[in-house]
Amino acid sequence: MDTPMKDQGTKEYDPKEPNPEKPNPAQPAQSEDGGQTFPLIERPDHAYDFRSDECTVPTMNMIEAIKSAELGDDPLRGDHTTHDFQTWMASITGKEAALFVVSHKIANKLAIALLKEVTAPMAAIVDDRSSLVKQTPNLAGTFQGAEVHAVKPLNRHHLTLDDIKDALANINETKAILICLQNTLMGTMMPLDDQQRIYEWAKKEEPPAFVHLDGETLWEAIAAGSGTLEEFCKYADTVSLCLTKGVCAPAGSVLVGGELKEECETNVLWLRLTESEKQIFLTLVDRYALKVMKGDLTGRIVLHAQICPDAVARMKAVMNDFFKK
């Protein structure tokens, strides 16, 4: 068998030789002045990575928890691990409900989308240095078409109530207001008192303004003693909490807030039925050989791309018969 030719300009890697691009962990590191000598490095690379709080790896306890997690379907209430986690997150934040999502951007976009669903048309006031502005290539998409006002804080540190009021001068009075705060931001903490003043003022407006807190690195403010998790969450309608920053999780964020009073699914039809009406509806559905949710979800009809025309015709017949009762 022929031996592959080696690139004459490339030196073959020898694991016994030190990598010039990386300090050799087998030798003590010494300061530039030749003075202090540091001990041998025997820990993984992330323990020496100062680039970002994203440069972390899951702990062994997290890995074990992932291995033992249930794999049921969440919409059908089969994922007890996720459901229990969401219930716990809601309890420790003092909110009615919590939702686990795979990324922090999704958590923020979902919060904005849900608030806009009930307040359109809407104008959003946000710090011009925030992640929602700086790390979002499609600003209009993130804010669901809302009118965005990126504000530069007068104190060059964090948004205050005065900044919010000044921004209102450029907003049509007929539009609902969404205030997006971020804590921490660029390594600085927003004082809890300022967040409280903004929130309490927002709730006195007519109609009340909404406050979303991007808590991507809120854990840092809590660890520094600026306030408790429940206190920060108290003065916001919705809060997004990143699990990969600060707590070293492999993925995910949690959105906490009030429980939805109305469904916001665009491909879902809800029938508000009494117990007796549910039985009538289910009898009709069986008669036309269709499948629907039962129990607490009776009356929830979901459309999807593979629903056939015959099924639509049968459901129409169900509706006609039901509303004749």
Q: What is the DSSP string of 83-95?
A: HHHHHHHHHHHT-
**pLDDT(90) > 80:** yes
**What is the predicted pLDDT for the residue at 196?**
96
**pLDDT(20) > 50:** no
Average pLDDT on 81-104 reads 92
| Architecture of the domain whose range is 60-257 | 3-Layer(aba) Sandwich (3.40)
pLDDT band at 15 (very low <50, low <70, confident <90, very high): very low
Average pLDDT on 67-86 reads 79
**pLDDT(294) > 90:** no
Task: Give strand pairing partners of 240.
Answer: 214, 255
pLDDT band at 138 (very low <50, low <70, confident <90, very high): low
Distance, in Å, from the CA atom of 133 to the CA atom of 137, rounded to the nearest integer, reads 8
Domains of the chain by residue range: 60-257, 268-324
Place of tokens 């909110």: 95
Q: What is the percent of the chain where pLDDT is above 70?
A: 75
Structural contact between residues 41 and 233, judged by C-beta atoms closer than 8 angstroms: no
**pLDDT(105) > 90:** no
Kindly report, residue by residue over 200-235, the tens digit of the pLDDT.
999 998 888 999 999 998 998 998 899 999 999 999
pLDDT band at 3 (very low <50, low <70, confident <90, very high): very low
**What is the predicted pLDDT for the residue at 97?**
93
Q: What is the CA radius of gyration of the chain?
A: 27
Which region, left, alpha or beta, applies to residue 248 given φ > 0 means left and ψ of -120 to 50 means alpha?
A: left
Question: pLDDT: is 241 or 79 the higher one?
Answer: 241
Mean pLDDT score of the chain, rounded to an integer?
80
Longest distance between any two alpha carbons in the chain, whole Å? 92
Task: Give strand pairing partners of 288.
Answer: none
pLDDT band at 135 (very low <50, low <70, confident <90, very high): confident
**pLDDT(13) > 50:** no
Looking at residue 64, its amino acid is E
